[in-house]
Amino acid sequence: MSAAVKLHVTTIGSGPAPVVFLHGFLGQGKNLATAARDVSDLATSLLVDAPNHGQSGWTEHFDYLQLADIIADELRSRGAAERPVVLAGHSMGGKIAMCLALRHPGLVARLAVVDVSPVDYGHVEFLARLLDAMLALDLSVLGSRGQADEALTGAIPDGMIRDFVLQNLRRTDGCYPAWGWRSNLRMLRAELDRMSGFPDMGAARWDGPVLWIAGTGSDYVQNRHAPAMRALFPHAHLVRVEGAGHWVHAARPQAFAQVLRAFLQG
């Protein structure tokens, strides 16, 4: 059983297919809002803030199995046992989605895994730098989001990545300091290696339809990852999106929507 963690969930669309989107590391459910809107005629989509992110509650440790169980409990409470969902997860969210399908197969009708593989990547230096920069920001003297952006420029020179990181910054009205981080940064920094990895699922496998989406400019899905993916998901079908990196849905939203719509329509 999962620990009780309150999840923040937003609904978009009114189409017949129940779809659940799970975002990546340091993201929020709203990062996939464009994709949800692009299929809104086909689907009623739930955008979930994963535990330790956005407006959802926090856990003491990073554990993909626990995260999958927490989200499974939420889906079960919304009727997924009677009407299984299409589960779509990007990066960290893709790993959660894979674990959920393997541990709670009756809740999932179809699975879309976006630019991630069920492997231990082992390279966390880039994410460590982001988290270290965020944790080093002195929130007690911060006057505005613009000041935060300026303060992070040295450690995070890429403006798009700073914008992504700063979506985690929030006003704490009536509190001191006046700014805080939405994400559970200290725990995530301490357990980055577990986030980069993937749990041993034993002999588990899921025989449902799996759409495996990768950006041609990303190294998160390589040929050498295919055996691990197909051992767990023998019916995985890989689609590579030209001109996209790791954030496929953001780089090529129309192409991503086209692939997703085809998958929803069977």
Mean pLDDT of the chain: 96
CA dihedral 228, 197, 209, 18 (to 10 degrees): 180
CATH number of 9-121+198-264: 3.40.50.1820
Domain range annotation of the chain: 9-121+198-264, 125-192
User: Tell me: the pLDDT tens digits for 143-201?
Assistant: 999 999 999 999 999 999 999 999 999 998 777 788 999 999 999 999 999 999 999 99
* Contact predicate 80/51, CB 8 Å: no
The answer, yes or no, to whether residue 1 has pLDDT greater than 50, is no
Of 90, 96, 94, which is closest to residue 256 (Cα–Cα)? 90
- What is the pLDDT at residue 3? 52
Q: What is the mean pLDDT of residues 100-106?
A: 98
- SS3 letters across the chain: CCCCCCCCEEEECCCCEEEEEECCCCCCHHHHHHHHHHCCCCEEEEEECCCCCCCCCCCCCCCHHHHHHHHHHHHHHCCCCCCCEEEEEECHHHHHHHHHHHHCHHHEEEEEEECCCCCCCCCCHHHHHHHHHHHHCCHHHCCCHHHHHHHHCCCCCCHHHHHHHHCCEEECCCCCCCEEECCCHHHHHHCHHHHHCCCCCCCCCCCCCEEEEEECCCCCCCHHHHHHHHHHCCCEEEEEECCCCCCHHHHCHHHHHHHHHHHHCC
Phi, psi angles (nearest 5°) of residue 134 = -65, -45
Q: pLDDT by residue (tens digit) across 68-86?
A: 999 999 999 999 999 999 9
Is the previous residue joined to 177 through a cis bond, with omega within 30 degrees of 0?
yes
User: Is the pTM for the entire model greater than 0.85?
Assistant: yes
Q: Distance between CA atoms of 223 and 45, rounded to whole angstroms?
A: 31
pLDDT at residue 218 is higher than 90:
yes
What is the Rg, in whole angstroms, of the alpha carbon atoms belonging to the chain?
18
How far is it, in rounded angstroms, from Cα 126 to Cα 103?
Answer: 30
Q: What is the pLDDT of residue 173?
A: 78
CB 252 within 8 A of CB 213: no
More confident residue, 241 or 143: 241
How far apart CA 41 and CA 28 sit, in angstroms, is: 23
Q: Which residues pair with 210 in a beta bridge?
A: 111, 236
Lowest mean pLDDT among 1-10, 87-96, 126-135, 187-196: 1-10
Q: Cα(228)–Cα(68) distance, rounded to whole angstroms?
A: 19
pLDDT digits (tens, 9 = 90+) for 19-31: 999 999 999 999 9
Residue 206 in tokens: 């899921």
State how far the Cα of 133 lies from the Cα of 154, in Å rounded to an integer. Answer: 9
